[in-house]
Structure 1
Amino acid sequence: MNGADIAWILISAGLVWLMVPGLALFYGGLSQTKTTVNTLAMVMIAVAVGGVVWFTVGYSLTFSGSGPIIGNLDAAFLHNVSMTKSTRGLSIPDGLFALFQGMFPMITMAIIAGSVVGRMNFKAFILFLLAWMLLVYVPLAHMVWGDGIIASHGALDFAGGDVVHISSGVSGLVLALLIGKRRKVQFLNETNLIATVVGGGLLWFGWFGFNAGSALAADGVAIIAFTNTSIAAAFAMLTWVIMDMVIFKRVRVSGAMSGGVAGLVAITPGAGFVQPASAMGIGIIVAVGAYFATNVLKNRLGYDDTLDAFGLHGIGGVMGGILTGLFASKSLTGQSVSWQLLGTQIGAMVITILLAAIMTIIIAKLVELVTPLRVDEAIEEKGLDYDLHGEINI
């Protein structure tokens, strides 16, 4: 065991956890005042759901066993998971590996909330997340990171392009389509931008642990992942700002922060697999794509992705996965860029999209048998905060 590696992954686990309240502030600042409490609740509940499911069966089903799609229950409740030794050939103990990986489903499920805040029944959302983590996140994480079928074909996903961003973005969009549009869709100019900037900053800060921590050691791979994360986000934010200046003749703070998030999303699958110059290109390209998705595609197709979870995470994740296949460095991955690698990347994303979309439909239909997915019209009209939570935000 290596003390420096242990310290870095402990810090990284805390940084990834910090991303959840960061996202709560980011989303909360962009929400209508009458739904701010509901937005905060829908994001933060992911910490509880993720923590409970991961400890009980999630970790075991993800990283125990060698099945192509799912693991087994040998390590349920962290049974026989060592806090001092590694069975994975790592310089950190299995218990720390489990702790770090357990932070990822929390932020993944929190992202989904961005598509449906303001109209989804909170009880239904809790039930949805419980089932979604078991039926979407866990098998997908096993297939990608637990030596499952996607990993066996050589797909590259350093820190969660498929597992985190595409899965949550696609599920958020499908769930939003099933629930339907808000009865009054408003494009607000009066938002709490202080919360959005602070939340976005915490997301950005936490992302260094998210990506660089995925090296699972304090080494050169962590350094390249940290560097690429910073570069991609910076170039994406600046590109977004330039497009705003050219198209709207003004700079929107919310847009600048969204641009940074888009860059962070896109570099996630390739953070430890590409060179810094490629990270620059990824940031610029994804900013253009995500800008189009959130400002043009969303309006033309008419879907109500409330806070652009799909536009930033779904689209950003797909673009990041493709660009990872195009820009992967042989010195970092051991693989040469080829049509085969690109095909593998696309195949992994297709599996992710199909799994997330199909299971979201099934889970939503099952939840609807227990409780309505959507709140009553009267509650939606006056805001969900007091009726669902007994609290209001001033």
Structure 2
Amino acid sequence: MHLRKLIRAAGILSILPVAVHAQDAAPAFSAGDTALVSTCALIVMLMMLPGLGLYYAGMARAKNALSVLTQVFASISLIAVLWTAVGYSLAFTESPLNAVIGGFGKLFLTGITPDDLVLTLPEYLYALFMMMFAAITPPIIIGAFAERIKFSAVMVFMALWFLLDYVPMAHMAWGGGWVMGMGILDFAGGNVVHLNAGIAALVCALVVGPRKGYRTTMMAPHNMTMTYTGGAMLWVGWLAFCGGCAYAANGLSALLMVNTMLGGAAGALGWMLTEWALRKRASTFGAVTGAIAGLVAVTPACGYVGPGGAMAVGLITAPICLYAVEAIKPRLGYDDSFDVFGVHGVGAAVGGILTVIFALPVLGGTGFPEGRTLLTQMVPQVAIIAFSIAVSVVMTFVALKITALVCGGLRVEEEEEYEGLDTSAHGESAYRLTDSVFGGGAVYPVAAAMEGAGAMSAPAKMTSDKFAG
């Protein structure tokens, strides 16, 4: 009961900017709220750079590690500029097509002054915080086509996908579009960020095709220490990612951070316990990946469930993501390099459904909008998940086809892929070259005996066999 009162008092819908603009009374500036959200924005920035970059680069072959870092860095830079130029305006202003997309009233943030507020925050800060959401979403997709795509194609695709997919989805869910009025339980972007990017990753993996040597060459992370460091930074940043969505320094923001922490922790345990049951040991990579799966799943749930529910969401979701990564993916044969779909796509869909279940007051949740039951809440919840999947599939496919036309194809030449994208695309290398291995010929000492990338190591393939029976 106390939890329900807390969240209702804070106003769940206050995280949606259109609700702010609809208020009659002018909001009052809060230094405390501003300090909290400013801090959260900075921590989410560290979540992206270097967090996401390190997490992915460690999973790449050493000859491609720098290319992954560069793709993430450049994509975030590109999206930050596009968000300021057109994205914020299209997402958070009104237009004649307001059900689907906003207008052009705040291009380049024109018309905003330092005195303008959204809720109790300077609007510039609100735009910056939402920029963090926009900037981290498209680069998540990089993990699906890493090690084989042209750098020019990455940049063109990122711009197109951002404009065609992310911005309309953000407006529909958060900026006054039709999805916003559906009463969906998605507190911090399960659909707009993780499901959206995860489904896009699957489409990209299918359209771009597998890496040369996929399923015949060892493809294990070349630097688990790097992946561990990046994954840990992602977890830290996730607390700010979700906690900042209260837009206020209050009990709700604290609850969001507690739930986020517990979702990640339970996800790590769920993945490790499943590994232990399957092969009598738990891997470091599994612990980190399980935490990410739990964090993805708790993102939509963090404002609607209690701490016990957050743990349940992470604990249940992680083994399902493990099954998707190590059993479904090999059976279907697609090459999602770093398992973006298996973790973000599957995790977000499962988390969205579990959000409704653990929002039940009897399970410690906040309950549903007035007049709704478990069934009448679940129906629109699943419908919007399906809608988000459909939009991501169509818009990702369109963006890829346009990119292929503009860039003369998506993939690098076979010789360049064999050489590695660090040198062929950027003229640099992540590690010092040496002639000391294999009797001459420049190789990467860190990974000389471990060709490969991807979220499935050799032990993971053993798990796949067990899942397959």
Q: TM-score range by the shorter chain?
A: over 0.9
In structure 1, what is the equivalent of residue 271 of structure 2?
240
CA distance in 1, matches of 2:267, 2:368: 28
**Equivalent pairs: percent with the same residue?**
39
Of 70, 75, 79, the match for 1:41: 70
Query: Is the aligned partner of 1:370 residue 2:399?
Result: no
Residue 334 (structure 1) shift: 5.4
Corresponding residue number in structure 2 for 1:251 = 282
Q: Is the 8 A contact 2:360 2:374 kept in 1?
A: no
Which shifted more, 199-208 or 43-52? Answer: 43-52
Matches within 5 A, 1:109-128: 109-128=138-157
Equivalent residue number for residue 173 of structure 2: 144
1:170 aligns with 2:214: no
SS across alignment from 1:103: helix
In structure 2, the CA distance between the partners of 1:334 and 1:4, relative to structure 1 (3 Å rule), is farther
Greater fraction helix: 1
- What is the aligned counterpart of 2:162 among 122, 133, 141? 133
- In structure 2, what is the Cα distance between the partners aligned to 1:27 and 1:295? 18
Q: CA deviation at 1:189?
A: 4.4
Q: Which residue of structure 2 lines up, in the alignment, with residue 270 of structure 1?
A: 301
Matched residues in 1 for 2:129 and 2:113: separation? 14
In the aligned structure 1, how far is the partner of 2:247 from the partner of 2:188? 11
CA distance 1:76–1:346, change in 2 (3 Å): same
Query: What amino acid is aligned across from residue 198 of structure 1 in structure 2?
Result: T
Offset of residue 263 of structure 1: 0.5
Query: What corresponds to 1:73 in structure 2?
Result: 104
CA distance in 2, matches of 1:383, 1:296: 28
Match of 2:420 among 380, 383, 387: 383
Corresponding residue to 1:351 among 387, 394, 400: 387
Paired amino acid for 1:308: D
CA apart distance, 1:249: 2.0
What is the CA–CA distance in structure 2 between the aligned matches of 1:127 and 1:375, rounded to whole Å? Answer: 15
Judged with a 3 Å threshold, the aligned counterparts in structure 2 of structure 1 residues 121 and 343 are, in CA distance, closer, same or farther, namely same
Structure-1 residue corresponding to 2:396: 360
Deviation at 1:16, TM superposition (A): 1.4
Gaps of 5+ in 1: none
Name the residue aligned to 2:254: 223
What per-residue deviation string (whole Å, max 9, x for no partner) do you get for residues 49-105 of structure 1? 11111100100000011601100010111111232332x4x1112111111001111
**TM-score of the superposed pair, with normalisation by structure 2:** 0.81
Aligned residue number for residue 292 of structure 1: 323
Report deviation, 1:157.
1.6
Is the CA contact 1:244–1:251 (under 8 Å) kept in the aligned structure 2?
A: yes
> Which letter does structure 2 place at the counterpart of 1:288?
P
Does residue 1:304 correspond to 2:304, yes or no? no
User: What is the aligned partner in structure 2 of residue 8 from structure 1?
Assistant: 36
Farther off after superposition, 258-267 or 358-367 = 358-367
Larger Rg: 2
Range with greater deviation from structure 2 (96-105 or 190-199): 190-199
TM-score by length of 1: 0.97
CA–CA separation in structure 1 for the residues paired with 2:311 and 2:319: 13
**Alignment coverage as a number of residue pairs:** 392
Taking a change above 3 Å as real, the CA distance of residues 187 and 169 of structure 1, as seen in their structure-2 partners, is farther
- Secondary structure of the 2:141 match is helix
Structure 2 runs not aligned, ≥5 long: 1-28, 432-469
* Aligned residue number for residue 80 of structure 2: 51
- Does structure 2 conserve the Cα–Cα contact (< 8 Å) formed by 1:326 and 1:337? no
For 1:83 and 1:219, the matched residues in 2 are separated by: 24
1:69 and 1:151 map into 2 onto residues whose CA distance is 11
3-state SS of 2:121 partner: coil
Supply the distance in 1 between the matched residues of 2:386 and 2:140 (Cα, whole angstroms).
Answer: 20
For residues 220 and 331 of structure 2, what CA distance do their matches in structure 1 show?
21
2:89 counterpart letter in structure 1? S
Q: Does structure 2 conserve the Cα–Cα contact (< 8 Å) formed by 1:42 and 1:117?
A: no
SS in 1 for 2:406: coil
- Counterpart residue identity of residue 131, structure 1: L
Partners of 1:175 and 1:289 in 2: CA distance: 22
In structure 2, what residue type is equivalent to 1:393? A
TM alignment of 1:308-319, pairs within 5 A: 308-319=339-350
4+ residue runs over 3 A deviation: 186-190, 329-334
Higher deviation after alignment, 325-334 or 35-44 = 325-334
Q: Letter of the aligned partner of 1:4 in structure 2? A: G
Compute the RMSD of aligned alpha carbons.
1.4
